[in-house]
Amino acid sequence: MDDQELVRRGFRSILSAQDDMEVVGEAADGAEALRVLRDVDADVVVMDIWMPVMDGVAATEELVASGNRARVLALTTFDTDENAFAALQAGAGGFLLKNAPPAELLSAIRSIAAGDAIVAPRVTRRLLDRFAGQLVPAVPAVHSSAKRLATLTEREREVFLLVAQGRSNADIAERLHVAETTVKTHVGRILGKLELRDRVQAVVLAYESGLVRPKA
């Protein structure tokens, strides 16, 4: 979903060339995107942050609130874009810089579709470091989250902290000397116990609860 037709054509060309991907719709603004998504069954929505009529943040928020199962990959021009963080707060599964190479875009879409890693973890951490003090709680407040955090086992807490640092499943598996499938199992249990939608909310919760602190 992008207001520039040339950009949409480029994305469509790249995605359509993949054996495991199919473009089922496109739109020039957020409002049109929501209309399109009511009529198609999409797994992932590549959503530009800056669009006319309705921006990507508002469109993401409405999409998530509607119960649509599609996961959102938000696109931003700058890695310090406050609106990219707002998109995560609105429910996007991750975000990517708009000038990312095609291989990175394809990898990000596959990761988002699988509900696996947060996209562009280093950029995510920079945004969290910059805007952590401006968080609008999208997950339980600190006093109510402490009780649920206490339900985690020692290993689950260890995995949770690594997820909060933006680590991928493969990276966590290597650090803990376990199989990647074991990490995926831990992450699933952690999200269930903490009643979180995805890994993005896990990162935000870690910052809100003080387990991970912004850099000085």
Q: Is residue 214 included in any domain, yes or no?
A: no
* 98 and 115 assigned to the same domain: yes
What pLDDT, on the 0 to 100 scale, is given for residue 214?
56
Domain identity same for 30 and 126: yes
216 within domain boundaries: no
Q: How many domains does the chain have?
A: 2
Q: What are the residues facing 46 on neighbouring strands?
A: 73
**213 is a domain residue:** no
Q: What is the pLDDT of residue 80?
A: 57
Token pair of 77 as six digits: 């021009």
CATH number of the domain at 61, please: 3.40.50.2300
Q: pLDDT at position 132, please?
A: 52
pTM exceeds 0.85, yes or no: no
Q: What confidence score (pLDDT) does residue 118 get?
A: 55
The pLDDT assigned to 1 comes to 66
Is 101 in the same domain as 164?
no
What pLDDT is attached to residue 141?
Answer: 47
Residues 15 and 116 grouped into a single domain: yes
Same domain? For 111 and 165 the reply is no
Per-residue pLDDT of the chain (216 residues; tens, 9 = 90+): 656 677 788 888 899 899 999 999 988 888 999 999 999 999 999 998 888 889 888 999 999 889 888 989 888 876 655 666 777 778 888 778 888 888 888 888 888 887 665 545 555 556 555 555 554 444 444 446 677 788 899 999 999 988 887 777 888 999 999 999 999 999 999 988 988 877 777 877 787 777 766 554
Q: Which domain holds residue 105?
A: 5-132
Residue 100 sits at the vertex; the CA angle it makes with 114 and 113, to the nearest 5 degrees, is: 10
Pair (122, 194) in one structural domain: no
| Residue 215 in domain | no
Residue 43 confidence (pLDDT): 92
Domain assignment present for residue 56? The answer is yes
For residues 102 and 145, state if they share a domain: no
Chain center to CA of 21? 19
Looking at the fold, whether 117 and 196 belong to one and the same domain comes out as no
Are residues 97 and 172 both part of a single domain? no
Which CATH number do you get for residue 159?
Answer: 1.10.10.10
Helix and strand element counts for the chain (H, E): 11, 3
Residue-level pLDDT at 156: 95
Question: In the listed set 71, 98, 132, which residue is the last one of a domain according to the structure?
Answer: 132
Q: Is 196 left (phi over 0), alpha (psi -120 to 50) or beta?
A: beta
